Structure formats: C-alpha cells, structure tokens
C-alpha cells in the first residue's frame, strides 16, 4: 500500500486528525497503516505484551503512555512479538528501548524517545478505549497512516 500523509491531508482535510510532530521513528518501516487498537497505561507494559501476543491482523497499536520518559514501554522482544503476530505498527506516547534492534524489524514504531530503563509489570492499564494523544482523539477501529511526514488518523479507511 502506498500513500503519503501529505496527500491524505490535502484530500481529506475535514475528515482527519493529525498528531503533533513529536514522535521519532524507531522501526524498520517508515510508512505503515492499519486499523487502530488502543491502550492507556502508565509506566507498566503488561497490557502491551498481552495485546501484541494476539493476532494483529495488520492493525496498529496506539499506546497512551501518559508521555512518560522515565521508562520504556516497548523493546526488541515486544517488537519481535508484534512482527510475529502481524501488527504493522506501534505509536507509543512514551519511550522505547533496544532502538538498534527495533530499526531492523519490518515494523513501524513511533515513540517520544529511546530510554534504557524497562517498565514495571503490574498488569495495570485499560484496553480498547478512546484516548487522546497530543490533543488528537483516537478511537479503536479508526485508521492510522504514518510516513516520514507525520501521523494521520481517520474514522474510515482512506486508501
């Protein structure tokens, strides 16, 4: 699938939301898209592992990690799990680690920064609910498109 977020913004301006340009690219895929699955959590990646262990069916996992920069929510092992289970991308409002290994995976990964400390694992958080990241409403089942120019969210499939 080929698309450009710039073209999507031009053609569907009234239908889409654009995340603020605060995310860095860490995965081996710069361009990715898919239906959204959501998590809301804080410094605990237990639910990230749980959801990435399911069949991704070409979806994109969007994690509202509260913008924390005190630990990583995804590393190489979870990246490999995502690829194995058919996820196309991850957008993390938080940090990742093992960035060199993530860059070798055929997976889109956007996050705020790389940070070496791992998260706690207490099983806290919420799945599949409406979240807000950088003021952008993201709903499970919506579509996310990401490329080198940014990240766009739409209530329907655009391409």
Give the residue ranges of the annotated binding site for substrate.
Answer: 75-78, 97
Compute the distance between CA of residue 74 and CA of residue 12 in angstroms, rounded to an integer: 32
C-beta separation of 36 from 60 below 8 A: yes
Instruction: Mark the binding-site residues for Mg(2+), compressed into ranges.
Output: 98
Instruction: Mark the binding-site residues, compressed into ranges.
Output: 75-78, 97-98
């Amino acid at each position: 699938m080929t698309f450009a977020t710039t073209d999507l913004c031009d053609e569907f301006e009234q239908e889409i939301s654009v995340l603020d340009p605060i995310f860095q690219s860490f995965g081996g895929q710069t361009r990715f898209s898919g239906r959204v699955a959501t998590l809301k959590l804080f410094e605990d990646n237990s639910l990230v592992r749980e959801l990435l262990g399911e069949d991704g069916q070409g979806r994109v996992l969007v994690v509202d990690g509260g913008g924390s920069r005190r630990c990583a929510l995804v590393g190489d092992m979870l990246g490999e799990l995502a690829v194995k289970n058919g996820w196309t991308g991850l957008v993390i409002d938080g940090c990742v680690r093992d960035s060199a290994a993530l860059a070798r995976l055929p997976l889109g990964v956007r996050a705020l920064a790389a940070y070496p400390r791992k998260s706690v694992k207490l099983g806290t958080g919420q799945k599949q609910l409406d979240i807000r990241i950088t003021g952008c409403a993201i709903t499970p089942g919506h579509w996310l498109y990401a490329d080198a120019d940014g990240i766009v969210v739409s209530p329907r499939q655009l391409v």
